[in-house]
Amino acid sequence: MPISEVPTCIDIDGLIGGGGGDEFCQSKECLENLKVYINDLKNNIDGGDKEQLIADLSAYPNSQATYQNLYDGSPYLSDSLLLQIAQTTGMADWKRSNLLVINSPLSDEVMIQIIEYVPAYTYQILESIRYYDQLSERGVLESRISEEERKKAAILSTLLTEMLQQKNYAEMADLVADEDPEYALRTLSAAQLHLGNPTQAQTILDQIPIFDAEDQQFYDIQSINIARATQAQFDLSPEQEAVLRQIANDYYSSQAGYAQGLLRLYRDEQIDIVLPDIEDGTHTATSGKTQVATRNKARFSADELNSLMVFPNPAASVATFYLPTTADNSTLEVRDIQATTGHRWH
């Protein structure tokens, strides 16, 4: 399904939409349509069959079929698969280089870890692409998925709230049966709190597993919200304030905005996020003994990236050709020093 296509449905008020919010329909039909759409979007990543691609890459690294399947899954290959491609020395350099280039710009993590595995000229091209373009096609796709997930969460929250009000618990269970358990519990806890049932909200919240810092931050903030609902004269305790300040100043946390809002509400102060230090347009990252600048000045200009390049040039026996994406319907002809045509590609 093309990314631009969004499934719509018409609710009883005649509104058309594909997700949550007042401007979108809030029916179960819309929710099911949106689930299908999100699943279709996710299936673009790694061609929808990451396990098979990994198995082929391990068993038949230099097979043309393996390369073609990876090529067909581009430019939506995941970081973990791109790392495995870079590290698979059994695959020809040109194949690995091409797959990395068509999936670029690559993330900081991938760029750091592949430097020891790819040819220097390939790495220079990848760095140059990142210099001019910060968001990959997969990044665009993942942004769309996140937006559609937000819409789905809004519809689900609305439907769960309606069912809670009607005490239709069986239908609630059916509605969240296919959802991620953690997501479903978070939504149910929030719905109970919205309905004025803080005790039930806390009971559900306590069932949510905590696997990482973001999970803990969600738990801490939601616990404070529940405490607000149970105490007529609520004020932040020193411990709660310290927790909120730590979350509010976490630049990478998805919960930072909620913590900032609570601090503005109870301490009447604005929290300014301190951005990570970036000097002279570069950001230095370390992986083992290797240190690379992941925002270096581009080795190649934008014009060069849109032109044919050959490495090395001149070449004695083996050469690598870099063709820009604008090279469709072109012919490449290679001749020796006597002008004899050796190979021609269309």
Asked whether residue 314 is domain-assigned, the answer is yes
Residue 113: DSSP 8-state: H
Question: Is residue 140, in this structure, part of any structural domain at all?
Answer: no
Query: For 240-249, what is the mean pLDDT?
Result: 91
Would 319 be classed as within a structural domain? yes
Q: Name 236's Cβ contacts closer than 8 Å, sequence gap at least 6.
A: 224, 244, 262, 266, 267
Whether 345 is covered by a domain: the verdict is: yes
Share of the chain above pLDDT 70, in %: 71
Which range (38-47, 168-177, 210-219) has the least confidence? 168-177
Flag whether 328 is in a domain.
Answer: yes
Question: Is residue 196 scored above 50 in pLDDT?
Answer: yes
Whether 241 and 247 have beta carbons less than 8 Å apart is answered as: no
Q: How many secondary structure helices (H) and strands (E) does the chain include?
A: 15, 8
| Residue that wins the pLDDT comparison between 1 and 110 | 110
The band of 283, judged by pLDDT with boundaries at 50, 70 and 90, is: very low
For strand 309-311 and strand 284-287, is the pairing parallel, antiparallel, or unpaired? unpaired
For 217, what's the count of Cα atoms within 13 Å in the CB-facing half-sphere? 19
Whether the pLDDT of residue 202 is over 60: the answer is yes
Q: Is residue 14 part of a domain?
A: no
Name residues whose C-beta falls within 8 Å of residue 277's C-beta, 6 or more positions apart in sequence: none
Query: pLDDT at position 331, please?
Result: 73
**pLDDT tens for residues 309-340?**
665 566 655 566 666 655 566 677 776 666 56
pLDDT digits (tens, 9 = 90+) for 119-130: 888 888 888 888
Mean pLDDT of the chain, nearest integer: 77
Cβ atoms within 10 Å of 22's Cβ, excluding its own: 9
Spatial separation of the C-alpha atoms in residues 137 and 101, rounded to whole Å:
12
Q: Quick check: 130 and 305 in contact, CB under 8 A? A: no
The residues near 210 (Cβ < 8 Å, ≥ 6 apart) are 216, 219
Q: Residue 66: its pLDDT value, please?
A: 94
Looking at 14-28, 221-235, 326-340, which range is the least confident one? 14-28
Q: Which of 144, 106, 143 is nearest to 128 (CA)?
A: 106
pLDDT digits (tens, 9 = 90+) for 143-185: 899 889 888 888 887 888 888 788 787 787 788 777 777 877 8
* Predicted confidence (pLDDT) at residue 37 exceeds the cutoff of 90: yes
| pLDDT tens-digit readout, 61-119 | 999 999 999 999 999 999 999 999 999 989 998 899 999 999 989 988 899 999 889 88
Contact 224, 240 (CB under 8 A): yes
**308 pLDDT exceeds 70?**
no
Tell me how far CA of residue 12 lies from CA of 25, 28, 30, 329, in angstroms. Answer: 8, 12, 12, 51
CB-based contact 108:294 (threshold 8 Å): yes
pLDDT at 4: 38
Other C-beta atoms lying within 10 Å of the C-beta of residue 5: 11
pLDDT, residue 163, reads 83
- Residue linked to tokens 């949510």: 208
Q: Is residue 336 part of a domain?
A: yes
> Can you give the pLDDT at residue 281?
43
Residue 329 lies in a domain: yes
Cα separation of 331 and 327, whole Å?
9
Instruction: Sort 151 into a burial class: Cβ within 10 Å, 0-12 / 13-18 / 19+.
Output: buried
Structural domains counted in the chain: 1
Residue 41 has pLDDT above 50, yes or no: yes
Integer Cα distance of 95 and 85 in angstroms = 9
Q: Which of 109, 104, 100, 126 is nearest to 285 (CA)?
A: 109
pLDDT at position 88: 93
Q: What is the pLDDT of residue 5?
A: 41
Range list of β-strands (E), 68-119: none
Quick one: what percent of the chain has pLDDT higher than 90?
A: 28
Question: Domain of 336?
Answer: 308-346
Q: Which DSSP category does 4 fall into?
A: T
Residue 320 is predicted with a pLDDT of 63
DSSP annotation string for 32-73:
HHHHHHHHHHHTTGGGG-HHHHHHHHHH-TT-HHHHHHHHHT
Peptide bond into 238 cis (omega under 30): no
Query: Given phi > 0 = left and psi -120 to 50 = alpha, else beta, which region is 208?
Result: beta
Residues with Cβ within 8 Å of 212's Cβ and at least 6 positions away in sequence, in order, are none
